Amino acid sequence: MKSIGVRDLQKRVKECVDEAQVDRLVITRRGKPAALLIGVEDKSWDAVISQSDPAFWKFVRARRAQPTLSISEMRKRLGIKKGKEQKD
């Protein structure tokens, strides 16, 4: 991951945006991290907005903390009988 100072960023914005499409770019102020530039070309507006939303990530963390079910347990709960072609 590369870094660039705020003053250099002002002089090289286009180059930094291009670089951010390949790898994240840390923007520093007085030598300390101040921001992170992440390229989002080829992503939809919905993906950009949801993936940068703290509420989205709070939901993901909460969901990951929940126990998971096996496919056979899920079928049992949903009343789906195992077909000949389906295997666990």
Is a pLDDT exceeding 90 seen at residue 31?
A: yes
- In whole angstroms, give the CA distance from residue 8 to residue 1: 16
CATH of region 1-66: 3.40.1620.10
pLDDT per residue as tens digits for the range 37-82? 999 999 999 989 988 899 999 999 999 999 998 999 999 999 998 7
Whether pTM > 0.85 for this model: the answer is no
- In whole angstroms, give the CA distance from residue 79 to residue 88: 15
Domain ranges across the chain: 1-66
